[in-house]
């Protein structure tokens, strides 16, 4: 994270410049101008992917996620299958290219690491492909939603936003409360590795278990007045899962969110009356939240 922090800060300033310019023409869609761009460019620059591929890869990530929905339709699963095939082709080709011409990028480094552990080059390439795909998919989907949700909630709570301007050292706390209050991912699924009894319910080995992260984050046994958005609270949450399943991209998501929020706070004096000008447009999903459009305006 330390290696890419400067690049993310520069990208945030560039995107906020673009956002500010768009506001001069009327209301602007924060999601498309900023939220969708920052995670894709951050992970793309880190993995050294061609910028010309960003729009395609972002759209494939949005399509692929249907396979992780709670109750996907047949058509959604078909779209997910197509996107998954295209992503596999893209990243397996990328791994082949990096093996043929290694550089100073993470994928080349992972290949060198796996080659030290695995004598079978084909197995090593498969492992690196899976890791690269996992790291990529953690970025453009859920992080983009986190960024839009963060701006939406804070603009809808102007007194808390004003307090945060006066106390910017609490930006990380605000990000954690956003993650708790409206997690980008409300449902995660696991397969039971053995027979188990949980809360009086017998779970058979091999059964699929759906865990309601959004509900857990609003558990009144763990949070006072959980339905209230409050950046002053110390917000423990399960939005990044836990244990061996803890989100690999959590540090990157937090870095992008805190950098963006800090940058936006610095610009608020030049954006008088910044407000949400229309209700957010949400994708029709259950598990993976996505704000497709967040229109904002100034006075």
Is residue 75 domain-resident?
A: yes
The pLDDT, as a whole number, for residue 191 is: 92
The pLDDT, as a whole number, for residue 3 is: 83
CB 268 within 8 A of CB 16: no
The pLDDT, as a whole number, for residue 234 is: 85
CB 217 within 8 A of CB 183: yes
Is residue 139 domain-resident?
A: yes
Q: Count of H helices and E strands in the chain?
A: 12, 9
Cβ neighbour number for residue 277 with a 10 Å cutoff: 15
The pLDDT, as a whole number, for residue 121 is: 86
Burial-class residue 64 by CB neighbours within 10 Å (0-12, 13-18, 19+): buried
Name the helix (H) or strand (E) containing 5: helix 5-23
CB 289 within 8 A of CB 145: yes
The pLDDT, as a whole number, for residue 79 is: 93
Q: In a structure prediction context, what are the per-residue pLDDT tens digits for the chain, which is 299 residues long? A: 888 899 999 999 999 999 999 999 999 999 999 999 999 999 999 999 999 999 999 999 999 988 888 788 899 999 999 999 999 999 999 999 999 999 999 999 999 998 887 778 888 899 999 999 988 987 888 999 999 999 999 999 999 999 999 999 999 999 999 999 999 999 888 899 999 998 899 999 999 998 899 999 999 999 999 999 999 998 789 999 988 889 888 999 999 999 999 999 999 999 999 999 999 999 888 888 899 999 999 98
Domain extent at residue 54: 5-185+228-297
> DSSP per residue over 97-163, as a string?
HHHHS--SSHHHHHHHHHHHH-S-HHHHHHHHHHHHHHHHHTTTTHHHHHHHHHHHHHHH-HHHHHH
The pLDDT, as a whole number, for residue 7 is: 92
CA angle 220, 222, 225 (to 5 degrees): 40
- CB-side exposure of 56: number of CA atoms within 13 Å? 10
- Please report, in angstroms and rounded to a whole number, the separation of the first and last CA atoms in the chain: 37
CB 287 within 8 A of CB 66: no
Is residue 221 domain-resident?
A: no
Closest CA relative to residue 39, chosen from 67, 7, 76, 69:
7
CB 294 within 8 A of CB 47: no
Chain-centre distance for alpha carbon 18: 21
Is residue 169 domain-resident?
A: yes
The pLDDT, as a whole number, for residue 72 is: 86
For the four alpha carbons of 264, 247, 120 and 86, in that order, the dihedral sign comes to: negative
Is residue 291 domain-resident?
A: yes
Is residue 292 domain-resident?
A: yes
Cβ neighbour number for residue 6 with a 10 Å cutoff: 9
Is residue 199 domain-resident?
A: no
Count the domains in the chain.
Answer: 1
We report the CATH number of the domain holding residue 109 as 1.10.630.10
Closest CA relative to residue 34, chosen from 22, 19, 45, 21:
19
Q: What is the pTM of this model?
A: 0.92
The pLDDT, as a whole number, for residue 126 is: 92
25 by DSSP, 3-state: which? coil
Per DSSP (E only), the strands in the chain are 28-29, 187-191, 196-198, 201-203, 208-212, 275-276, 281-282, 291-293, 295-297
Is residue 191 domain-resident?
A: no
């Amino acid at each position: 994270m330390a290696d890419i922090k400067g690049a993310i800060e520069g990208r945030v300033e560039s995107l906020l410049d673009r956002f500010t310019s768009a506001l001069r023409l009327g209301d602007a869609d924060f999601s498309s101008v900023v939220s969708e761009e920052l995670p894709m460019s951050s992970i793309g620059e880190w993995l050294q992917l061609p910028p010309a591929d960003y729009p395609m890869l972002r759209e494939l990530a949005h399509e692929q996620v249907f396979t992780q929905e709670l109750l996907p339709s047949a058509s959604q699963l078909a779209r997910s299958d197509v996107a998954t095939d295209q992503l596999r082709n893209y990243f397996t080709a990328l791994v082949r290219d990096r093996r043929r011409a290694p550089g100073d990028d993470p994928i080349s480094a992972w290949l060198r690491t796996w080659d030290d552990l695995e004598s079978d080059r084909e197995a090593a390439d498969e492992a690196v492909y899976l890791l690269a795909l996992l790291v990529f998919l953690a970025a453009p989907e859920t992080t983009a939603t986190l960024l839009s949700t963060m701006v939406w909630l804070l603009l809808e709570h102007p007194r808390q936003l004003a307090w945060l301007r006066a106390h910017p050292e609490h930006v990380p706390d605000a990000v954690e409360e956003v993650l708790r209050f409206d997690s980008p991912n409300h449902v995660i699924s696991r397969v039971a590795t053995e027979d188990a009894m949980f809360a009086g319910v017998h779970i058979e080995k091999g059964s699929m278990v759906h865990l309601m992260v959004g509900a857990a984050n609003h558990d009144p046994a763990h949070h006072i007045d959980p339905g209230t958005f409050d950046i002053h609270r110390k917000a423990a949450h399960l939005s990044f899962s836990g244990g061996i399943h803890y989100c690999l991209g959590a540090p990157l998501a937090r870095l992008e969110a805190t950098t963006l929020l800090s940058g936006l706070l610095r610009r608020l004096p030049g954006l008088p009356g910044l407000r949400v000008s229309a209700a957010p447009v949400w994708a029709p999903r259950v598990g993976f939240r996505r704000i497709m459009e967040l229109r904002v305006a100034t006075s």
